Each structure stands twice: as structure tokens, then as C-alpha cells.
A and B are shown apart, each in its own frame.
Chain A
Amino acid sequence: MAEVAEKVNFKVKDYKSDIAPIWCPGCGDFGVVNAIYRSLAELQLPPEDVAIISGIGCSSRLPGYMATYGFNTVHGRILPIATGVKMANPEITVIGAGGDGDGFSIGMGHIPHAVRRNVDMTYIVMDNEIYGLTKGQLSPTAGRGDITKTSIYGSVERPIQPVKFMLGIGATFVARTYAGNPKHMADVITAGINHKGFAFIDAMSSCRTFKGVDQNTYLRENTYYLEDTDHDPTDKAAALEIANDADGLAAGIIYKEEIPSYDELYANVQEKSQQRGVPELKEVLKRYVP
């Protein structure tokens, strides 16, 4: 990133690929990809230093629309693959982008581990509470009573609440933002990328096709902004209270704490391992000659 000194001045278009999104008109994911372009331009990150890793789902088509490095992987494995990228090359800015099903259903098992390692990456979950790509089945974040193609009598399951869950497992950066406000979303993403550690962003995104316009209306009308309040993001108790708030959807940085990231700590491991000298590779054989 030191080369930024040559003043290339990256613009939004420098992060945009030639491929037109397959998303339906009115899809919230347009707002998310635009916010990512904006954020990267604001941070002036050279596109070659950014890797966006996605899984499977409507939202996971996102890397295709980026002119950075990208990897559209398989369902549910964003976090292991993104962790591999970051740990292999800590200089790279790693962003995970996927949907609620990819993250909180099939990929759920990986989340607590990425969080406890505090992998330095930003994980954006585009949550529309529905399976869009497979055309309208029940999502793990869908509300009880939701009627979908696989819950035609109304869902009897309680939803996963992403923000509450992330706070509960000790995430060091938890934020929520709304796709209908790309400026706010870009600011939150920028803060996430700047956070040295695992940044979780709950990107409330609506699905026009399977949830109708009402979903977006609901999000717009019920979202309130934490910068308009006196919320202190370092206050965990206050953060939990926000997460439990049934009356409104708080957008902004809900919680943030600074602890060393995985790659920083692993650098110490490397240093420690080398303290007593490092033999040449061919010399290692001698250890096995009794």
C-alpha cells in the first residue's frame, strides 16, 4: 500500500468489472456492491491488493462484478478460504461477501472459529431472510411464521439473530447497515476494513422478487442510525441492548474492541520458532540419523 504515494487516485470505476449483475431489478445487493466500490475508492486501495471471497447464493455472485481479485467459491466456505488467503498473504485486504444462508446455515460452523482467531478480514453478510438463488425457500434468519416455498404453513423455527449471535461469540467488530443507504453502508465497510481483526457487517438487503416491496419499506422505516444517538461502541452491555431492541433496527457500528489479529499473533509464532536458529533444509535430515 506504500505505492499509493505515486498518487494513482483510484475511482469507483477502477473497482468495477465489465460484467453486468444477474440480480433482479430492485435487489438490495446492488446497494451493497456500490457501497463496496465507494469504500475501496475512499480507502484508495489498489485493486490488486484486494481479494473478495464469496460463497454461493445471489449475493455471492458479487466478486464477478469487481475488478479486484475475487473468488466465487462453494456454498458455506467463505471463511476458511478467506482465512487461507489472509494467512498466506497478510498484505492483502480480504473481504468475505455472502448471504444469510451461506453464512448462518451451511457455513455457520466456521463463524465462531474465524471470530475467535480474530482473522483480519471484513465479512459482509447480505441478509434478506430468504433463499433467492434457489427461488424462495426458508432462510435461517427468516422470522417465525414466515411463509416461503418450504414453509407454506408458516415457519415454526426461531430465526438466528446475526448481530446478537456475533456479540455473543466475541466478535471484535459488529456493525449493521442498510442497502438502501449506500453512503452509510460505505462508511461502515470502510470502518470494517480499517478494523484490525474480524469485522462483521450485517448488511440488511431486501429481496424484491421473493419478499416483495414490503420488505424494503419495512427496513427503510425501521432503521435508525447510531450516530444520531450517544451510543458508545466500546460498551458491550449497550451493544447487547441494541442487539435485543425489538422496536427498531440500529444501523452503525454497534461494537468494537481492539485485540491482536491472527496474522499479528502468528508472526510472533514464526519469530519464536526461529529463535534457536533455522537449519538449512537438507540439514534437517541429520536429526534422523541416530
Chain B
Amino acid sequence: MKSHDLVIGLAGSGGDGVITAGQLLVNAAASEGLHSFMLKSFGPQIRGGESSCRVRMSKNQIFSHGDRVQVLGVFNWNDFKRFRGEMHFTNPLVVVQDSADKTPEEKIPVDTELERITYKIPLGELAKEKAGTALAKNMVMMGALCALFDLPIEGMRNGIMKKFKKKSQEVIDSNLAGFNAGFDYVKENIEKIDDLRFEYTPSEAKVVMEGNEAFAYGALYAGCRFFGGYPITPSSEVMEWMSRELPKYGGTMVQAEDELSAIGLIIGASFAGKKSMTSTSGPGLSLMSEQIGLASIAEIPIVILDVQRGGPSTGIPTKTEQSDLNQALYGTHGDANRVVLAPADVADCFDVALEAFHVAEKYQVPVIVLSDQYIGQRKETFEQTALFGNGHANHQVTQRLLPTEEELKDYKRFRDTETGVSPMTYPGVKGGMYQAAGIEHTELGAPSSDVDVHAKMTEKRFRKDKYISKELNFVRFYGPEDAEVGVVAWGSSKGAVKEAVNRLNEEGYSVRAAVPQVLAPFPQEKFEAWLEPLKKVLVVELSYTAQFYKYLKGFLRFGDRELRSYARSGGAPFDVEEIYEQIKQEFA
């Protein structure tokens, strides 16, 4: 069977180089113009332990990780056990395993209902013999996979050379020898009994990025020059990226002592005139809550990236969930305005970073971006032209509104204007001195406990919402306009929803989907126009308590439409099939 869309799973112990192998596969696919996805999964050990990854490569554009693994590469069945629950397989399943693994047939931790076609390769032995080290096992595995399934072999060889470029020629040669050994072994010794062959025509190389990298890059491009943060899974890559890149561009990265400090640092830096951001995950956002209110009342632009993980408390730090929505929308005491955005895939992280800084700076508001582990830490390919000047993103790099010479003569930092946005100075600007404050204040910035001042200034701050909504209201719509069944999702759930809707449309089901990128202030008008022809609406999300569903029900005029929520706790992202089945129920 010729395949244009292949999902490969790999599992082993830390030393087996599973992740390196997966990365090489994605890079090889991308270098030959294929679309690819890679998810990583680890055991709880800090180093070593079990690790697994799943790589999907396709000739056509893909939007999710691929529900079912077709080919499973196993270094050691014992290490695979942990991932049993998170990997689903096709029937038949092709297995490539180390022939040194003597796990008896009945102990193999895969559903016995499945027909398994197994190829045994002496991975360790070949690695030692041909590459001179057992460490090259993963290369032997890659060589074998390439030979068995016609994977992009040139891309693999180039990838190996690039990967070890900084090491010695000896290391490159040894890895290549391992790769070739696996390849040759299959060609000479294995009789292929499955009929899976990957077929594609090479095209221009694609970009491979993780969501956390894409966001950091977008932020830097948007002019962010100050980052304060505290390490937390699964967002630390953003901070590491900033630590390396920001100083090159004259920026500053401070590793804070905690998240109370992290948000304080960026509020201070932004007050001092620099575009500033932090990145965190749920527990960190909880600690930052109080000062989100400070940024709101003092009208200080900041961007907070929350790469969500399973909660509450420590929850499942390494796995995805969409359960920080309430905290992003409502976290902090008092009536505090803020903007909440949600990227839907890796490339979108770049766009959303630009939008976040645009709106934070233009409207002097805190912006919370809800990414998640599924987007933040996965690798995904996209066209090289995707990021710049192409697509929906608001690519203007926006600077803060400074007072004019004239305005400086009688400067009021919090002047009540039509849009609610007041020109903002920063330390160093002559004549622009003012006091910023968390305490309620007059237009001049003088503390006030006058009820009228409080009412007026609160309204001024919330007035910005109307203007923000006019320019920031992007919603992704899929499916035919006359459909009577609609699906609503947000953030990373877009991938599975889009694929499911595409599939259903191809099968003749009339269904459409909407995925808002802006969660607050919510693009209500646009959304209600979309609802118009619908008779049934299904809201899907990775939150046990259905936070999104409840949020929408609070203000959207659904009328007498049939409303249903499909909400489950996270850990595993949605599979396409899962959403497909859920939508199909609407047609029953």
C-alpha cells in the first residue's frame, strides 16, 4: 500500500536516542518539503528513564499529530509500557524492534487483538560493529526504517551530518555508518511482508519549529527587549531562547526568584519604556495574578505567555490541557481589564506574539496568551513564507503613544481620551514625570478614593475594549456557510477539529467550525453572525469543567439552538477520530 501520510512511534530508554531520532525524522521530512508533526513524551525521571516520540509525515498539509501509529520502533519493550496508554495503533501494526530484546510474545504490552508484523534488527550489535558504539542504535533504527518504508533517505543523511557538524568528522562518520548499517541490513536480510511504502515528491524545504520557539521569535521580532521569568514546565524553552537571543539585540533577560518577581520585573521594565514579557504555566500565572491588576490599573503594557499544562496545583506538568481559561479571563481581584489571545498552532504562535505586543503597546493593557504544552513543545513544519507578510497576522510593529510637545506642557498621564488610551511617557523623558500607581488615581496620577474618580477611571480603562475589538477579532472558520451544525473550539484544539470537519465535509456532512483567536474581548458580533444559520452547536475543549462552554453561554446569544459541550480533562490532546465521532452524534 502506498502511503502519503505516515505515523511512526518510537520508544526506548533515555540512552537510546529516541528523541534525537525523532528530530532527525522530522528534519529529514521537512528538508524534502514534507509536512510533519512530532510529539515527545517522557517518563518522570529527570535524566534517562523512558522516552517516546511520535512523528507524522505527510505529502499533504496536516493539522494534528495523527491518531494512530502505523509503525512502532521499539528499542526495548519494557520502556514502551509507560506509553501504552497514549499510543493508539492501526491494525495491522508494523513493529521494528531490537532482536536482542527477548521479551516473550505473551508479555509484549500491545493489544493482542492487533495483527502485528514484526521485523527484528540487531540494533545494538550493528551499532557496535559498524559505528563503533552502542550509542548509534538509534541511527541503525533510522536506517532500517528508511529502507523498510522508503522514508526520505537523503534528508536523513544530510540531517545526520548537520546534527553532528559541531562535533568531529569521526562522530559524523560513525553515525552515518550506523545509519547505513541499518539500511543495508534490511536490504540484505529482511523480507518485507507488509505493504506500507511512503510515497512523495520532494519540494522546497519547510521550517521546523516548536511553539515556544515561534512565540519567542515573534516577541523578539515585535520589539520585545525585556524578559523576566521563572523556569516552569512546559514553558522554559521560551526563557532559554530569550536568554540566548535577547542580549544580542540589546535586550535583557532576568531570571527571577519567583513569579511574583517575574511579573514585577516586566511591569518595571515596561514602565521604564521597554516592551516586556514573561512566560509561565498555570502555577506561575496564579502567582502573577495580583500584579495583572497592577498592570491594568496603572495601564502598563505587558505580555504574559501561559503555556498551559494539566492542573490544578502541580497536576501533570508535562502534558497539555486547556484549563487555565478561567484564570486568564478572570484572575486577579477587582474589575481589571485585560486581553486574552490563543494561538492555534506553531506558526500561529509567531503571529499571536506580534498581535499581543501590538495590542499591549497600543492600548496599554496586560495581554495574556494561552498556549499549551501540545503547541509549545511539539515540532511542526510550515512554509518558509508563512511568517512574514503573508496571512492574517497583524504584522505592524507598534510603538507606544508618546505625548506631543504640546501635550507635555500640561501633561496628564491618564488623560481621559476618546479611546481611553492616554499618551505615555517613561523615565528619562523631560517634562513627562508622573506617578504610576496601583492605587486609584486621577488623570494626573494623584491617588484618589473619590467614588466618581473610580467610576470614571474604571470606565476609561474598559472603554479600550471596544476599540481593541474593532481591530482584533480574528476567528478561523472552516466548512460550508450553510451548514446547520457548528463546532466551536479554541487554541490547540483547532488541529483535530479542522481535520475532523474536513473529513466530514468530504463525506458529505454539512458541518462548520469556528476557532476564535481572541478570547477577550470576545468577537461577539462576528461570532453571532456565524451562529445565524446554525441549528446545533457543539463546544469542544480540554477542560473537565467546560470553562469555555460556560464562558460562551454567559454572553453569546445562542437563541433556541441546541447546545452541547464535549469537555474532557487533558493529558492527551484530542484525536481527530474522537472529535469526528462527537460531531457525527449531532447528525444522529
**Looking at B245, B254, B433, which has the most chain A CB atoms within 10 Å of its CB?**
B433
Report how far A38 CA is from B417 CA in the complex, Å: 37
Nearest CB on A from B450, distance (A): 14
Q: Which of A48, A61, A63 contacts B429 (CB 8 A)?
A: A48
Contacting A at CB under 8 A, from B388-414, are 388
Q: Are B252's CB and A81's CB within 8 A? A: no
Report how far A88 CA is from B274 CA in the complex, Å: 6
Residue of B nearest to A278 (CB): B248
Q: Are A72's CB and B438's CB within 8 A? A: yes
**Residue A154 interfacial (CB < 8 Å):** no
What residues on A are CB-neighbors of B126 within 8 Å?
none
Take A19-B446, A88-B226 as given contacts and tell me if A77 and B264 are in contact as well, using a CB distance cutoff of 8 Å.
yes
Q: Are A109's CB and B435's CB within 8 A? A: no
Q: Are A71's CB and B428's CB within 8 A? A: no
Contacting B at CB under 8 A, from A82-137, are 82-89, 91-92, 109-110, 113
Nearest CB on A from B288, distance (A): 11
Residue of A nearest to B158 (CB): A290
Contacting B at CB under 8 A, from A47-67, are 47-51, 53, 56, 61, 63-64, 66-67
What residues on B are CB-neighbors of A74 within 8 Å?
290-291, 294, 438
**Residue A69 interfacial (CB < 8 Å):** yes
Report how far A284 CA is from B431 CA in the complex, Å: 39
Q: Are A53's CB and B258's CB within 8 A? A: no
- Which one of A24-32, A185-193, A266-274 is at the B interface? A266-274
Report how far A49 CA is from B431 CA in the complex, Å: 11
**Residue B12 interfacial (CB < 8 Å):** no
Q: Are B265's CB and A73's CB within 8 A? A: no
**Residue B57 interfacial (CB < 8 Å):** no
Take A77-B291, A288-B209 as given contacts and tell me if A84 and B272 are in contact as well, using a CB distance cutoff of 8 Å.
yes
What residues on A are CB-neighbors of B352 within 8 Å?
none
What residues on A are CB-neighbors of B244 within 8 Å?
273
Q: Are A69's CB and B427's CB within 8 A? A: yes
Report how far A41 CA is from B262 CA in the complex, Å: 33
**Residue B387 interfacial (CB < 8 Å):** yes
Residue of B nearest to A53 (CB): B268
**Residue B504 interfacial (CB < 8 Å):** no
**Residue B269 interfacial (CB < 8 Å):** yes
Nearest CB on B from A93, distance (A): 9
**Residue A70 interfacial (CB < 8 Å):** yes
Q: Are B269's CB and A87's CB within 8 A? A: yes
Q: Are A80's CB and B264's CB within 8 A? A: yes
**Residue B228 interfacial (CB < 8 Å):** yes
Report how far A52 CA is from B274 CA in the complex, Å: 18
Take A81-B271, A84-B276, A113-B261 as given contacts and tell me if A73 and B446 are in contact as well, using a CB distance cutoff of 8 Å.
no
Take A284-B217, A288-B209 as given contacts and tell me if A81 and B264 are in contact as well, using a CB distance cutoff of 8 Å.
yes
Q: Are A70's CB and B436's CB within 8 A? A: yes
Residue of B nearest to A47 (CB): B433
Take A63-B435, A74-B438, A274-B248 as given contacts and tell me if A288 and B272 are in contact as well, using a CB distance cutoff of 8 Å.
no
Nearest CB on B from A153, distance (A): 32
What residues on B are CB-neighbors of A56 within 8 Å?
438
Nearest CB on B from A217, distance (A): 32
**Residue B220 interfacial (CB < 8 Å):** yes
Report how far A288 CA is from B379 CA in the complex, Å: 11
What residues on A are CB-neighbors of B209 within 8 Å?
288
**Residue B234 interfacial (CB < 8 Å):** no
Nearest CB on A from B118, distance (A): 31
Interface size on B, residues (CB 8 A): 70
**Looking at A81, A84, A270, A272, which has the most chain B CB atoms within 10 Å of its CB?**
A84
Q: Which of B159, B205, B217 contacts A289 (CB 8 A)?
A: B205
Contacting A at CB under 8 A, from B119-139, are none
Q: Which of B158, B220, B266, B434 contacts A281 (CB 8 A)?
A: B220
Nearest CB on B from A47, distance (A): 6
What residues on B are CB-neighbors of A79 within 8 Å?
261, 264
Q: Which of B261, B269, B291 contacts A88 (CB 8 A)?
A: B269
**Residue B150 interfacial (CB < 8 Å):** no
Q: Which of A51, A73, A272, A284 contacts B427 (CB 8 A)?
A: A51
Q: Are A72's CB and B261's CB within 8 A? A: no
What residues on A are CB-neighbors of B155 within 8 Å?
290
Q: Are B272's CB and A290's CB within 8 A? A: no
CB 8 Å contact bits of B82-121 with A (1 = contact, 0 = none): 0000000000000000000000000000000000000000
Q: Are A109's CB and B257's CB within 8 A? A: yes
What residues on A are CB-neighbors of B252 within 8 Å?
87-88, 266, 270
- Which one of B26-34, B467-475, B511-519 is at the A interface? B26-34
Q: Are A270's CB and B247's CB within 8 A? A: yes
Contacting A at CB under 8 A, from B424-477, are 426-439, 446-447
**Residue B44 interfacial (CB < 8 Å):** no
Residue of B nearest to A81 (CB): B268
Q: Which of A48, A71, A76, A272 contacts B436 (CB 8 A)?
A: A71
CB 8 Å contact bits of B216-228 with A (1 = contact, 0 = none): 0100110001101
What residues on B are CB-neighbors of A266 within 8 Å?
247, 252
Q: Are A269's CB and B247's CB within 8 A? A: yes
Report how far A181 CA is from B426 CA in the complex, Å: 33
Take A46-B430, A91-B428 as given contacts and tell me if A85 and B272 are in contact as well, using a CB distance cutoff of 8 Å.
yes
Q: Which of B205, B291, B430, B439 contacts A48 (CB 8 A)?
A: B430
Report how far A67 CA is from B426 CA in the complex, Å: 14
Take A48-B431, A85-B271 as given contacts and tell me if A61 and B447 are in contact as well, using a CB distance cutoff of 8 Å.
yes
Q: Which of B213, B428, B437 contacts A89 (CB 8 A)?
A: B428
Report how far A266 CA is from B254 CA in the complex, Å: 10
Q: Which of B207, B264, B428 contacts A84 (CB 8 A)?
A: B264
5 A-B contacts (beta carbon < 8 Å): A72-B435, A77-B261, A80-B260, A85-B271, A87-B226
Q: Top 9 nearest A-B pairs by Cβ distance?
A: A84-B268, A80-B264, A88-B269, A290-B27, A81-B268, A88-B272, A80-B261, A273-B247, A84-B269
Extra 10 A-B pairs, beta carbons < 8 Å, given A69-B427, A81-B271 = A49-B428, A69-B426, A76-B260, A84-B265, A86-B268, A88-B225, A109-B260, A274-B248, A284-B217, A290-B208
| B residues apposed to A, CB below 8 Å | 27-28, 30-31, 155, 158-159, 162, 205-209, 213, 217, 220-221, 225-226, 228, 244-245, 247-250, 252, 254, 256-258, 260-274, 276, 290-291, 294, 298, 384, 387-388, 426-439, 446-447
